[in-house]
Amino acid sequence: MDDEHLPKEKVLRDPIYNYIYVDNRIILDLIDTPEFQRLRRIKQLGTTSLIFHGAEHSRFGHSLGVYEITRRICNLFQRNYPSKNPGDGLWDDHERLVALCAALLHDVGHGPFSHTFEHIFHTNHEQITTQIITSPETNINKILRRVSPDFPKQVANVITHTYSNPQVVQMISSQIDADRMDYLQRDAYYTGTNYGKFDLERILRVMRPYEGGITFEISGMHAVEDYILSRFQMYMQIYFHPVSRAMEAILEHLLERADKLYKGNVTDIDFAPQMLTPFFNGSFTLQDYLTLDDGVLTTYFASWRKFPDNILSDLASRFLDRKPLKSVIYSAETEPLLPKLRDLIQTAGFNSSYYTAVNDSYKLTYDTYNPQVAKPQTQIELIQPNGELVELSQISTLVAAISGKVSGDQRFFFPKEMLEQHQNIEIFDPIYEDFQAHIHNNQIINPN
């Protein structure tokens, strides 16, 4: 391992941290693998970049950022809390490399438009991350094995939360981990919003290792509170944006339609999704997966624009040309009206299976802070001068206000055309009028 230490550290220019520092050849070589370079071709925020046009950044920069924050945490831990005896609950710097590798690679199994793709094709980016790290066929695995034969497995364990040292696990995955700290800041920077900003330097300074993992000095309570609020606001304002969800609905229906056509034996050469075929067939290799990226999908979509299936070609165009569905909020009370609205849409000429959707931000992978749930990593604990731990929501009015409560909305998505005023064919007018009477103040209402 020592011979992997670089005599002089390398730097990569980064807009969030100015520089990212690398002083170990293992890290440098991991960055240079095809598997890691592929992350340049996978957008961090998927369809969100269609709303916040500045946010076209990829998972490549984010992965470097998580690495960099982890490196800084290790430096601070080693300086301020170095372990003197095994089991003293302080930081053992032999853990540094496994932490850095796990940080760098934690997202390496992500595919294009992950959430939607996984939903349709039953893939799982966390499993694939583990596979990339542990399969002897990958370049990443080869490099990790230079450290030791079981090093790839150790790195994978960190990612699956089964690694023995809870400090390492919590660095990469906990309520305040390097992953979240990077993406909140990075997404804020690229979207051009202020919400994701918090005092990273101060949070790192008040972090402390202990036998149970990582805690925070109570003097840093307001910095931690500010981080939780930033996260809440990023979800409300950016990640749950209704137009982004509308574009995801189109993407989902587009892939569903392609899947259905494929399974219906449409073999027209123009359809030609060679790189997708393994996924339609439900049987893909790691290499098949690693060939995919955002550009592969949009290239197929471009070819589908001309395919003689109206639904496929129209949805492909809507996605590429950014023609989102419209949406309105519904409640438990107005949910029973949805079938009628779907019927009206169908009558107006849109296949309602492909042109409507419901999407519940409550069910999105929302990152709520919920200390009541019995998982250790969902707790943020602060350490008092006398060594006692206190859970964050016990002392922060603001965090208590949002703990375990999910703010969000349920939306019904439908073609924008349903809201238009003047239709050419008068016979359809009553359909549109009826539909529009169900909508008031961006909500579904019962017009009667």
Q: Is 3 in the site for its own copies (CB under 8 A)?
A: no
Q: Is 237 in the site for its own copies (CB under 8 A)?
A: yes
Nearer to its own copies, 169 or 444 (CB): 444
CB contact burial 340-369 (16+ within 10 A = b; e otherwise): ebbebbeebebebebbbbebebeebebebb
Distance of alpha carbon 38 from alpha carbon 327, whole angstroms: 34
For residue 57, what is the DSSP state? Answer: -
Tell me which residues in 288-327 interact with its own copies (CB under 8 A). 291, 293-299, 302-303, 317, 320-323
Backbone φ, ψ for residue 317 (5° rounding): -65, -45
Q: Is 283 in the site for its own copies (CB under 8 A)?
A: no
Distance of alpha carbon 437 from alpha carbon 405, whole angstroms: 32
Nearer to its own copies, 59 or 106 (CB): 59
Nearer to its own copies, 98 or 250 (CB): 250
C-beta of 46: minimal distance to its own copies in Å? 13
For residue 358, what is the DSSP state? Answer: E
Nearer to its own copies, 290 or 337 (CB): 290
Tell me which residues in 41-100 interact with its own copies (CB under 8 A). 41, 49-50, 52-54, 56-58, 60-61, 64, 80
Nearer to its own copies, 175 or 403 (CB): 403
C-beta of 214: minimal distance to its own copies in Å? 17
Tell me which residues in 177-216 interact with its own copies (CB under 8 A). 189-195, 197-199, 201-202, 205
Give the residue, chosen from 25, 83, 229, 378, that forms a contact with its own copies under the rule CB under 8 A.
229
Nearer to its own copies, 169 or 246 (CB): 246
Distance of alpha carbon 15 from alpha carbon 196, whole angstroms: 15
C-beta of 313: minimal distance to its own copies in Å? 13
Distance of alpha carbon 22 from alpha carbon 12, whole angstroms: 8
392 burial type by CB count under 10 A (0-12 exposed, 13-18 middle, 19+ buried): buried
C-beta of 169: minimal distance to its own copies in Å? 26
Q: Which stretch binds its own copies (CB under 8 A): 220-228, 243-251, 337-345, 367-375?
A: 220-228
Residue 310 tokens, joined: 């109206």
Sequence length of the chain is 448
Contact of 214 with 170, CB cutoff 8 Å: yes
